[in-house]
Amino acid sequence: MSNLKKIKDEFLLKLEKKLSLSEINEIKSNLFGKNGLISSEFKKIGSIVENERKKFASDLNLIKDELQNLINFKIDEIQTEEINKKLEKEKVDITLPERTFIRGKIHPVSQTIDEISSIFSEIGFSVEEGPDVENEYNNFTALNTPDNHPARDMHDTFYLDEKKEKLLRTHTSPVQIRTMLKDKPPFKIIAPGRTYRSDSDQTHSPMFHQVEGLHIDKDINMGHLKGCLNYFIKEFFEVKKIRMRFRPSHFPFTEPSAEVDIGYEIKDGKIVIGEGDKWLEILGCGMVHPNVLKNVKVDPAKFQGYAFGIGIDRLAMLKYGINDLRAFFDCDYRWLNHYGFDPLDVPTNYRGLSR
């Protein structure tokens, strides 16, 4: 019996059995793979004596086609069987009513964070993040606020363990430490995020948002700080002029320190920013204390700069005329629907959008 016939008979026999997909694929590669039996026969064609060559090639092609067709047929069969099994199991109930489409809204705080990030990124700040659960070193000690420092009490800290080693960060300033520890100066970053203090009334919530700013380089001074904040406030409130005042203050991690108020007035029951004789405190800032720089291995003789911490919720309230801070975090959909922002500019004739 010729070799070709042997291969054919052997494999026809094999393919008669009930086979799994992987078994069939194995047969396929035994025959038609790079060194498969059929592939090897094809390689022999050139060395066959001329008067037998034609017949050999035509026999080989016939066998190849026969086996290949059978294999393809078997694969098809298995796949159809699998689909049928699936269809049996997964019935689609086309009588079910359609699901209603609810369009979400962007929360004013998220919108405000986006706006703040884009304004600062235009003037060269990049965005950093840090965790809500901090260690006391990053939140206090590294920021020149040692144990027993009165500022620790002022913060009404939520501690997470009895040893007071883990806490919910009371401000975004620990991101200053994290950033400076992982890189080398210069630094020019902002860090928006959640912060926590045990405090609650119309203008305070136990969870609130801040954005930290840090700019450290050779020759950065308080003038840069004032210029940067002035630019930011005007861009944020979209006004040409803003009344701003720097009040001397104290933070352990800055020297000198200041708090910044912006002028506003109430006109026809609405807050107007930048005019009037009322002042609203919106941020704390100052020149980064040399001790803080030393703690993160930055040489204060070579590098210095400013830091600030802005209350994001306050800014959002002022810009969008929202007068109770607590509503921000009540998760009331009616409120969010009113004060939230459209994620997309979807055409108004789009079906099923409104609630």
Does residue 286 touch ligand PHE according to CB under 6 A?
Answer: yes
Q: Tell me how far, at minimum, the Cβ of 310 lies from ligand PHE, in Å.
A: 8
| Residues with Cβ within 8 Å of residue 168, at least 6 apart in sequence | 132, 133, 134, 157, 158, 160, 195, 196
Per-residue DSSP letter, 204: B
Helices (H), ranges, the chain = 3-16, 21-32, 37-44, 50-89, 108-122, 136-139, 150-154, 174-182, 222-237, 290-295, 312-320, 333-339
270 - beta bridge partners?
Answer: 267
Among 236, 251, 264, 303, binds ligand PHE (CB under 6 A): 251
Among 138, 173, 205, 295, binds ligand PHE (CB under 6 A): 173
Does residue 171 touch ligand PHE according to CB under 6 A?
Answer: yes
Size of the site for ligand PHE (CB under 6 A): 10
Q: Tell me how far, at minimum, the Cβ of 195 lies from ligand PHE, in Å.
A: 7
Crossing angle of the two packed helices 21-32 and 3-16, in degrees rounded to 10: 170
* Binding range to ligand PHE, per CB under 6 A, among 37-45, 106-114, 281-289, 339-347: 281-289
274/286 with CB nearer ligand PHE: 286
Q: Tell me how far, at minimum, the Cβ of 189 lies from ligand PHE, in Å.
A: 12
Among 285, 287, 296, 318, binds ligand PHE (CB under 6 A): 285
Q: Tell me how far, at minimum, the Cβ of 229 lies from ligand PHE, in Å.
A: 11
Does residue 254 touch ligand PHE according to CB under 6 A?
Answer: yes
192/309 with CB nearer ligand PHE: 309
Angle 226-227-232 from CA coordinates, rounded to 5°: 100
> Among 127, 131, 106, which residue's Cα sits nearest to residue 211?
127
Determine the residue type at 95.
Answer: T
Q: Tell me how far, at minimum, the Cβ of 284 lies from ligand PHE, in Å.
A: 3
> Among 76, 84, 70, 85, which residue's Cα sits nearest to residue 17?
70
First to last CA, the chain: 80
Residue with tokens 């008669």: 16
* Contact set for ligand PHE, span 55-84 (CB under 6 A): none
Distance, CA of 300 to CA of 255 (rounded, Å): 13
Q: For residues 239 and 274, is the Cβ–Cβ distance under 8 A?
A: yes
Q: Tell me how far, at minimum, the Cβ of 150 lies from ligand PHE, in Å.
A: 14
Does residue 192 touch ligand PHE according to CB under 6 A?
Answer: no
Among 140, 187, 308, 328, binds ligand PHE (CB under 6 A): 308
Does residue 305 touch ligand PHE according to CB under 6 A?
Answer: no
User: Cβ-closest residue to ligand PHE?
Assistant: 309
Does residue 232 touch ligand PHE according to CB under 6 A?
Answer: no
Q: Which residues bind ligand PHE (CB under 6 A)?
A: 171, 173, 251, 254, 284-286, 307-309
